[in-house]
Structure 1
Amino acid sequence: MKGNQSKANISSRLQIIKQKSGKSYNQIAEETILTNVYVAQLFKRQAQLKPETVPKLRAVLPDLPEELLHELMKSSFTVL
């Protein structure tokens, strides 16, 4: 259960950063040259951030804390 709360907390923090940026998933996707589906999955913790994508995401969302970038690079899938 703790993992789910952590995932929800991270996702919530990511949504706040996105809202503060004033950018939509489509805008973030265009600026990072990623798909909007992948960007949305990242922010909902349904996909894992690839290391080569970090600089692109950091450039588009400079307020994204390092700790959240590290969380996004962790596997978001739980083994049952």
Structure 2
Amino acid sequence: MQKSKVFIALIIVMLTGCSELSLKQQAAEELIFYTTGITLGHNQAQCDAIHGRCNRDGYSEWTTEDGVINCSCKKN
């Protein structure tokens, strides 16, 4: 359990530096999606990395109204 808390904190810190999302929103997303086995990406670089580690059936990608690419990967 301790390792998962450290992992979540590390992910939040890493995403804070390269995201337009607020820290509160990032923390909420990471907590919710980490516990459900879903990984989120909020830009092309993150989505490329996630796509490379995700199986084909679990990967989803979409573009927001302002043209930003987002994605998710559901671990099976």
TM over 0.5, shorter chain:
no
Q: Which TM-score band (shorter chain)?
A: 0.3 to 0.5
Comparing both chains, which one has the higher relative contact order based on Cα–Cα distances under 8 Å and sequence gaps of 6 or more?
1
Q: TM-score, normalised by structure 1?
A: 0.37
Q: When you count helix as a share of all residues, which structure comes out higher?
A: 1
Q: When you count strand as a share of all residues, which structure comes out higher?
A: 2
